[in-house]
Amino acid sequence: MTLDPAIAARLKRDPQGLVPAVVQQYDTGEVLMVAWMNDEALHRTLTTGRATYWSRSRNELWTKGDTSGNVQLVKSAALDCDGDTILLRVDQVGVACHTGDRTCFDAGELPVSGAR
């Protein structure tokens, strides 16, 4: 399988050939997680409707939910203005985080002393 050349030409990959993907619950707007994609992961995501990423720790493609059941059904995708980030809007089945939290940011609040 090969990524559409017209899309591939717009991608600005990092030195590892990857772009970050921001994953958002399509109806509530929750930011669920950030993962990484190479061309093959993006191709599979766009053509199968199941969010697929490149694991930087395991050096392999992973389709979210294959082992956990917590699949992400893709509703839409967009590339940003300079082609180096993807926004994926999905319907998250179950939870997004391996900790069991709904999102990967639920437990990580940082203090903002200068909040406006």
Binding interface with a copy of itself (CB under 8 A): 4, 7, 20, 22, 24, 28-31, 33-34, 45-50, 73-83, 85-87, 91, 97-99, 101, 104-116
DSSP codes joined into one string, 54-75: EETTTTEEEETTTTTS--EEEE
Q: Which is nearer to a copy of itself, 2 or 110 (CB)?
A: 110
Q: Which amino acid is at 106?
A: D
The nearest distance, CB 45 to a copy of itself, in angstroms, is: 8
Q: Which amino acid is at 108?
A: G
The token pair at 87 is 């926004």
Q: Which residue has the tokens 């600005």?
A: 12
The nearest distance, CB 38 to a copy of itself, in angstroms, is: 15
The nearest distance, CB 41 to a copy of itself, in angstroms, is: 13
